[in-house]
Amino acid sequence: MVGVFTGLIEELGTIAERRPESEGGAQLVISASFADELKAGDSVAVNGVCLTAMNPGNGTFSADAMAVTLDRSSLGDLEPGGVVNLERALRADGRLGGHIVQGHVDGVGTVMATKPDGNALVVSVEAPSALMRYMVPKGSIALDGVSLTLAEVREDGFDVWLIPETCERTRIGSAEVGMRVNLEVDILAKYVEKLNSPN
């Protein structure tokens, strides 16, 4: 199943169990308050990765993550007790409060520094060089599924500013140096690049 998300995190969930599967994949069992409202097959973004919910009920749901998903995202780092950002797919009659997020991770960044600035938190992230061409100051980025505005863009990374609400409602608010985070660049930037390429 494929969903569309807004980058506005609904809640923080917890990894209740991680079950190894064949070919290097894993099944994640996630505790979430909305788990009992899910139907099997619903799309849920887990730290910005679109996964398919299975076996919802009793406050948990499970989701299969293939080996390639674990390798190309920070989901491979998750262990029982880990906290994750959760967002259900946007309903057709819902409001797009963030920006269009597909749940398709483009790369993994690393938190290089965090510092308070007034009531905000500035998070500096090192990003793969191949993704930097899609980033512009005041543009959009999804960081572990959180829709954020790029405050500053450098050759090797970027800064985002988190308001207190974002710090409280997402795992990015407690980010530590060295933490790996999933990055999804703005889909519009990729389409513009494709339309302007000679091939």
Interatomic CA distance for residues 59 and 50, integer angstroms: 19
Q: How far apart are the first and last CA of the chain?
A: 30
pTM: 0.93
Q: Which domains does the chain have, with CATH numbers?
A: 11-88 (2.40.30.20), 107-196 (2.40.30.20)
For residue 159, the number of C-alpha atoms closer than 13 Å in the C-beta half-sphere is: 12
Q: What is the DSSP letter of 144?
A: T
Phi, psi (degrees; rounded to nearest 5) at 5: -125, 170
Q: What's the Cα-to-Cα distance from 9 to each of 148, 155, 165, rounded to whole Å?
A: 11, 28, 11
* Residue in the structure block whose two tokens are 């409602």: 169
Mean pLDDT of successive 10-residue stretches along the chain, which has 199 residues: 84 97 93 97 97 97 96 96 96 80 96 96 97 96 97 97 96 95 94 84
